[in-house]
Chain A
Amino acid sequence: RKEVEQDPGPFNVPEGATVAFNCTYSNSASQSFFWYRQDCRKEPKLLMSVYSSGNEDGRFTAQLNRASQYISLLIRDSKLSDSATYLCVVNIGQTGANNLFFGTGTRLTVIP
């Protein structure tokens, strides 16, 4: 079983739509969670960290459900510029090097 699993999509949504992505993780000891955005042939960039209480940054809302071991990302009022691949990243909590696991990414295309 993969450490982190995401629906690869693609999600094709019209401009202005609300879209949500989920990401499940297998290790219950996971401690930190992140959403990264990656444009084609570019490096991933941190979109937001995911806190236990949930957090919001403008049109983006991230939530964590420890009981069900998943995190979510909600994008409201989608813009064309939101088209990208969204990577779920989970830190399984062991201090040190090899403790980050990436999901395969969910591809979003916002259509005019």
Chain B
Amino acid sequence: GAVVSQHPSWVICKSGTSVKIECRSLDFQATTMFWYRQFPKQSLMLMATSNEGSKATYEQGVEKDKFLINHASLTLSTLTVTSAHPEDSSFYICSARRSRATNEKLFFGSGTQLSVL
């Protein structure tokens, strides 16, 4: 099956630093990838849609200048949390689909647990 690789799995950083998370589709090309955030005991909240070769589409309430998304190739999207603060501590997870067909399932990365001190 398709594999999506996400790194790093855990990040602990000081307040004010920036953190970059990578999401790679290993055996398929993903023109679109999705970034989610999940707080404890809550569901996945879509943050943005990453489009290869163009700007990301952000969900309402998500600051695009704080959560920088770059989708430079068909297999790699990155999410950079800039000037991270303790309230940004969360589980960040990416996903990708092979196609835009409505019945296409999602393949998820393993997630990144971010802890900002």
Residues of A within 8 A of B (CB): 8, 31-32, 34, 41-46, 49, 87, 89, 91, 93-100, 102-105
With beta carbons under 8 angstroms apart, the residue of B51, B93, B101, B108 that contacts A97 is B51
Instruction: Determine whether the beta carbon of A97 is less than 8 Å from that of B113.
Output: no
| List of 10 A-B pairs having minimum Cβ-Cβ separation, nearest first | A43-B108, A104-B43, A97-B49, A32-B103, A102-B44, A31-B102, A102-B43, A91-B102, A32-B102, A43-B110
Majority DSSP secondary structure for residues of A touching B: loop
Inter-chain contact A98/B44, CB cutoff 8 Å? no
Interface of B is mostly: loop
Interface residue count for B (Cβ, 8 Å)? 25
Evaluate contact between A49 and B102: CB separation under 8 angstroms: no
Q: What chain B residues lie within 8 Å of A102 (beta carbons)?
A: 43-44, 46
A46 touches which one: B49, B100, B106 (CB < 8 A)? B106
CB atoms of B43 and A100 under 8 A apart: no
**List of A residues within 8 angstroms of B32 by Cβ:** 97
